[in-house]
Amino acid sequence: MATDRHPTAVRRPPKPAAALALRVVAAAGLAVDAYVHADLTLLSAGARFTGQQGVFLLEAGVALGAALLVASGRRRGSGLFAVLVAASALAAVVTYRYVDLGPIGPLPDIYEPVWYPEKVVSVVGEATALVAAGLLLRRRS
């Protein structure tokens, strides 16, 4: 029949330009997140290093690592790592905006019941990275 596909028919590969664009957008969102957290750490640096500064520096490093990984690789793991980093950062900033959880184990109490420009930029970067990396993962499945 004319509508039957031959079992050895070649399948079209995914469009590489779309995947590249998603990787670039995800990496950019994570890089923005890393920059904001590093900048906030440097702005609040005083004579004493606090637990919140440590958490922010850790977030900046992990987000930067995820940005570099997703930008440079086509492996499924890089997209998954980017999703996890962006989702956890977004969940943390929104939770600590609305809920005072207090200190949790080694994590300090970072409750801040206000939206300020750096926090908004961070949330936009995290949400953008989450959506782009999620779409990247979906394309690969």
51 in any annotated domain = yes
Does the pLDDT at position 35 exceed 90? yes
H or E segment at 53?
Answer: helix 51-72
Angle, helices 117-140 vs 51-72, to 10°: value is 40
- State pLDDT tens for residues 51-94: 888 889 999 999 999 999 999 987 878 999 999 999 999 999 99
Does the pLDDT at position 121 exceed 80? yes
DSSP category for residue 105: T
Q: Give the chain's domain count.
A: 1
- State pLDDT tens for residues 95-120: 999 999 999 988 889 899 999 999 99
Does the pLDDT at position 13 exceed 60? no
pLDDT score, position 70: 96
| Domain, as residue range, for 132 | 16-140
At residue 134 the predicted structure's pLDDT band, cuts being 50, 70 and 90, is very high
28 in any annotated domain = yes
Residue 86 and residue 122 in contact, taking contact as beta carbons nearer than 8 Å: no
81 in any annotated domain = yes
121 in any annotated domain = yes
7 in any annotated domain = no
pLDDT score, position 92: 94
5 in any annotated domain = no
106 in any annotated domain = yes
Residue 125 and residue 33 in contact, taking contact as beta carbons nearer than 8 Å: yes
4 in any annotated domain = no
